[in-house]
Amino acid sequence: MHLARFPRIRLAHLPTPLEPLPRLSEALGVEIWIKRDDCTGLAGGGNKTRKLEFLLGDAFEQGADTLVTQGAVQSNHVRQTAAAAAAHGLACEVILEERTGSKAIDYTRNGNVLMDRLFGATMRTVPGGSDMTAQLEVSAAEVTARGGRPYIIPGGGSNAIGALGYVDCAREIVVQADELDMQIDRIVTATGSAGTHAGLVAGLAVMGADIPVLGIGVRAPKARQEENVLKLAHATAALLGRPNAVTADMVVADCDYVGEGYGLIDAAVIEALKLAARTDAIVLDPVYTGKAMKGLIALARAGRFEGERVVFLHTGGAQGLFGYQGEIEGAL
């Protein structure tokens, strides 16, 4: 795929480990491995770091001096973007959407929000349901009016440039599996803003690796999520020069585990957090990996992965746990 064709700023500790989860595997009766993208390093790690390598490369190519992005209040993407900006001498303008409606002080001031402030990001909040694309344009216009040169990064870093980070991750997973003489039957990941899911699908398709990816939805209904992922996977494959590599059957999302909505947790999410922590000491987050693990556990117990070797992609986000202390602490 020759990703060196694309501008890139190195931010991540790569390759991230690919490890077995023996005790969780025993508990669920399925062989489960974990791709540790919580260990990418930047600001505590997470999947957005891979995307930001290519996004910052493009930003510098365009002569930008300010990153402009958005996310929910406890956004992992915003934390990592603020950190990347700080590390490279860029300003960072952030719009936080009150997507869950929570006014709890741990949610609005702790966790990722505290780290955003630590990294020096300029933040403003908007009500849930706001047109976030329009809000990005407003912030970018304000930067320009002050004489700055803004670079807009969409929520989650999820465009074709950002998705190149997960094209690279797909390559990395295949190389690691080959080194271990290990066949992977399925990759399971949280799917939200679509960039991670789409990048994996596009990368595996362009390589001809023939490993199915199952996205466990954290926000949108199945039809809309699959449409979003497919559109972005097509765009990413086109950027790689292989526009016809991705087919619709490669994009599968199971959105039965969203619960009451984005960022809203339930007893099954907390049980997933506890099971991962108390078997193989894996710390998940409540919004993305907790719901993905909730889905993986339910599907494994229903026999969906019988006889398979499954790789669970850990996209990070443990910093967000501190924003949910009030909801989680009483259930531990």
DSSP state of 210: -
Radius of gyration (Cα) for the chain, nearest Å? 19
Residue whose entry in the numeric block shows the structure tokens 């190389």 = 175
User: Are the C-beta atoms of 286 and 321 separated by less than 8 Å?
Assistant: yes
What are the phi and psi torsion angles at 216 (to 5°)? Answer: -95, 115
Nearest-angstrom CA–CA distance, 269 and 266: 5
Strands 91-98 and 309-314, by their bridges, are unpaired
User: Are the C-beta atoms of 67 and 92 separated by less than 8 Å?
Assistant: yes
Q: Is 211 helix (H, G, I), strand (E, B) or coil?
A: coil
SS3 content of the chain, % helix, strand, coil (to 5): 50, 15, 35
What are the E-state strand segments in the chain? 18-20, 31-36, 66-72, 91-98, 122-127, 150-152, 186-191, 213-217, 252-254, 309-314
Query: Is residue 281 packed enough to be buried (19+ CB in 10 Å), middle (13-18) or exposed (0-12)?
Result: exposed
Nearest-angstrom CA–CA distance, 234 and 239: 9
Tally of residues, the chain: 332
75 is catalytic: yes
Catalytic: which of 25, 75, 139, 193?
75
Instruction: Give the type of residue at 295.
Output: G
CA distances from 53 to 13, 214, 270 (A): 11, 25, 32
- Could you list the active site residues? 75
